[in-house]
Chain A
Amino acid sequence: MKTKFDPLKYRPDFPILKQKIHGYPLVYFDNAATTQKPKMVIDAIKNFYERDNANVHRAIHQLGERATEAYEKARKTIAGFIGAESEKQIVFTKGATESINLVASAWGRKYISEGDEIIVSEMEHHSNLIPWQLLAKDVGAVLKILPINLDGTLVFNEFEHILSNKTKLIAVTHMSNVFGTINPIKKIVSMAHDRGIPVLLDGAQSVPHLPIDVGFLDCDFLVFSGHKMCGPTGIGVLYAKINHLENMNPYQGGGEMISSVWLDNATWNEIPHKFEAGTQNIAGAIGLAKAIEYLEYVNMRDITLYEQDLVTYTINKLMSIDGVVIYGNAPARGGAISFNLDDIHPHDLAHFLDQKGIAVRAGHHCAQPIMRKLNLAATTRASLYFYNTVEEVDYLAEQLVEAKKFFNL
C-alpha cells in the first residue's frame, strides 16, 4: 500500500461495522449498493427530529425558521462539495434515479421531440437507460447506444458514427457500477459541446469516491444519491447549469413549487424550488450535508488515493486465486470489482460468503445489457469504500479458497 491512510481511524465512527454476522466480524463489501452511515450522520437526523423539526419555507415560528435554515444550509454544503457556482443549482430529489427521471421529464419533454436522438452507453445502470427508453417511446425519439469493449471501457471512436445533427443529449455514467470503469468525461463533454449537445453525468458511483468539480467537468447535469456516500436513503441531488434549470418545465405540481396560483393557472417558484413540489425529505437533506462534512473531514483526495491502492491490492489478490475471473480491466477504475469463481454460481458464492460474515452482491447489478454482452447470467461483486481494510480483502481471498473446497472444486 502506497498511501499512509489509516481506515482504522474511521471505522469506529460506523456503529454498524462493529457487529458480528453468523459469529464472524462483519466485512461489508457492498458499498456500490449502499454505504454505511457514520454516527454523526445518524445523530444529525435524530437531532433534527428531536429539536428542529418543522416544515420548511412556510412557518414563521422558531422551529420553521431553524428547519428552513438547516435545509438551505444543506443545499449550500452540497453546492460547495461539487464545486457548483450557486446553491440554486442544487435540486433535492429522492436519489440519482429520480434526478434522471426529473431531467427526462422536465427537460426532455420540452427539448426532445420526434426523430431526435439520445445517446446512452451500453454500460449504464438501468436507472440511466429506462427513463430515456420511456421518453424516446413517448415522444418518438431514437435511443442510440454507445457500445462497450469486453474490458469494460467505452468504444470511444463509435461516438463519431452515432453522433448526428439530431443528437439532443448524451447521458453517460462517470463510473461503472459493474466494471468500476471511470469514463473519460472531459473528452466526452468537450466533444459534445463542440456540437452544442448537453451531457448528463450519472455520478451515483463517482461522487462518493472522487473529488468532483462540476466547473472542471463542465457537464450540464450531474445526478447522485446520498445513501452511496455515507448519507441516508431517500435523498439525492440533481445539479444542472442555471440556464437549463431556468428553461426547464416543472417536474411535479404541488405546494412549494409555485409562485402564484389561480383556479385555472399558476406561475412557478424560482429555481431550485420550482422542482421541489410538496414537503421534501428535510431530515435527509440535513443528513446528506452532514455526510459531506464527514467526507470532507476524511478528505476526498485521500479517499480516492487509498481506494486506488486498495482496489489494485484486491484485484491482485483475487487474481492470485485459481479460477477467479474479473470482469472489467479499464486503465482508470474505481472500487467496484465484479468477478466469478470457477463454476460456482454468484448466488451460491454470496450465500457462502455471508455465512462467513462477508457481504457482497450477486446478480446482474441492475445492468442486464452488460451481462448479456459478457454472456453471463450474473456476477459476484465486491465494492470497496475507505473504511475497508487490507485485512478484510485478505479474509475475502481466504474464504474464496474455502468456497472452492465447500463446493467440491
Chain B
Amino acid sequence: MDAEFRELYQEIILEHSKSPRNFRRMEDATHKLEGRNPLCGDQYTIYLKIENGIIADISFEGSGCAISKASASVMTSVLKGKSIAEAKKLFEQFHDIVTGVKTTGDDTDISRKIAAFSGVAEYPVRIKCATLAWHAMRNSIEGVTNSVTTEEK
C-alpha cells in the first residue's frame, strides 16, 4: 500500500473513527447545528454548550466516513474547555493543515492530534470530509442555525 494513503488513514484516525469521543446527543446544548455532505451522505450534528464565552461541553452524533468521523471526534476532544476565540483559531489551524497550507508549528498535544490529518492535503476530494464537522462548529458559534453543507461555506 502506498505510504501516502497509509498516512491518510493513520492509526489515530482509524482509532477515533471506531471509538469516537463525545459521540452523544446533548439535551442542554446552547448551540446545535447539522453539517451535511450531500455528495457522499455524511451527516453530523454538532452540539455545543457555551457558558461565558467558554465551550463547557461539546459533542456530536451522526454518520459518515472514517475521515469525517475521526475529524469530528478529534475536534470535540480538543475544543472542550476552550474559549470561542481559541476555537476559531484552531479551526484556522486545522483548515491550514488539511489544505496543506502550513503545519501547526509547535508540538503540543493538540497540535499532534490535528496534525494527524495532514495526509488529507494529498487527497483534495477528502478535504470536505475532514472539514465537515469543523465548519458546522464554526457556523454554529457564529449563530447559524440552518444546516450547513459542504457545497457552500
Contacts and interface: CB of A to CB of B under 8 A. Distances in A.
Interface of A: 22, 343-348, 351-352, 355, 362-364, 371, 377-378, 406-408
Contacts of B69: 345
Contacts of A355: 1-2, 5
B67 interface: yes
B42 interface: yes
A406 B42 CA distance: 21
Given A345-B64, A347-B64, A406-B9, A364 B2 contact: no
A22 B1 CA distance: 10
A348 B66 contact: yes
A407 B14 contact: yes
Contacts of B5: 351-352, 355
Could you tell me the dominant secondary structure of chain A's interface residues? mixed
A345 B42 CA distance: 10
A371 B65 contact: no
A312 B129 CA distance: 34
A346 B66 CA distance: 10
B126 interface: yes
A140 B54 CA distance: 51
B140 interface: no
Given A377-B64, A408-B14, A347 B40 contact: yes
Interface in B5-48: 5, 9, 14, 18, 39-43
A354 to B, nearest CB: 9
A364 B41 contact: yes
Contact of B129 (A343, A347, A378): A347
B8 to A, nearest CB: 8
A217 B41 CA distance: 36
B145 interface: no
Contacts of A363: 39-41
A377 B14 contact: no
A355 B2 CA distance: 8
Contacts of A351: 5, 123, 126
A195 to B, nearest CB: 38
B146 interface: no
Interface of B: 1-2, 5, 9, 14, 18, 39-43, 63-67, 69, 123, 126, 129
Nearest to B11: A408
A344 B67 CA distance: 11
A95 B40 CA distance: 23
Contacts of A408: 14, 18
B41 A371 contact: yes
A400 to B, nearest CB: 14
B9 A378 contact: no
A138 B66 CA distance: 42
B28 to A, nearest CB: 27
Contacts of B65: 345-348
A345 B14 contact: no
Given A362-B40, A378-B40, A345 B1 contact: no
A275 B123 CA distance: 44
Contact of A348 (B1, B2, B39, B67): B67
A104 B63 CA distance: 36
Contacts of A22: 2
Given A377-B43, A378-B40, 17 more contacts: A22-B2, A344-B66, A345-B66, A345-B69, A346-B65, A347-B42, A347-B64, A347-B65, A347-B67, A347-B129, A355-B5, A363-B40, A371-B41, A377-B41, A406-B1, A407-B66, A408-B18
Closest 8 CB pairs of A and B: A347-B65, A345-B65, A377-B41, A378-B41, A347-B40, A348-B66, A348-B65, A377-B63
B120 to A, nearest CB: 11
Contacts of A347: 40, 42, 64-65, 67, 129
Contacts of B66: 344-345, 348, 407
24 contacts: A343-B18, A344-B66, A345-B63, A345-B64, A345-B66, A347-B40, A347-B42, A347-B65, A348-B66, A351-B123, A351-B126, A352-B5, A355-B1, A355-B2, A355-B5, A363-B41, A364-B41, A371-B41, A377-B41, A377-B63, A377-B64, A406-B9, A407-B9, A407-B14
A81 to B, nearest CB: 34
A377 B40 CA distance: 8
A339 to B, nearest CB: 16
A364 B63 CA distance: 13
A22 B43 CA distance: 30
Nearest to B62: A377
A343 B129 CA distance: 17
Contacts of B126: 351
Most interface-central of B43, B64, B65, B129 (chain A CB within 10 A): B65
A371 B38 CA distance: 13
Most interface-central of B40, B43, B123 (chain A CB within 10 A): B40
A23 to B, nearest CB: 8
A234 to B, nearest CB: 22
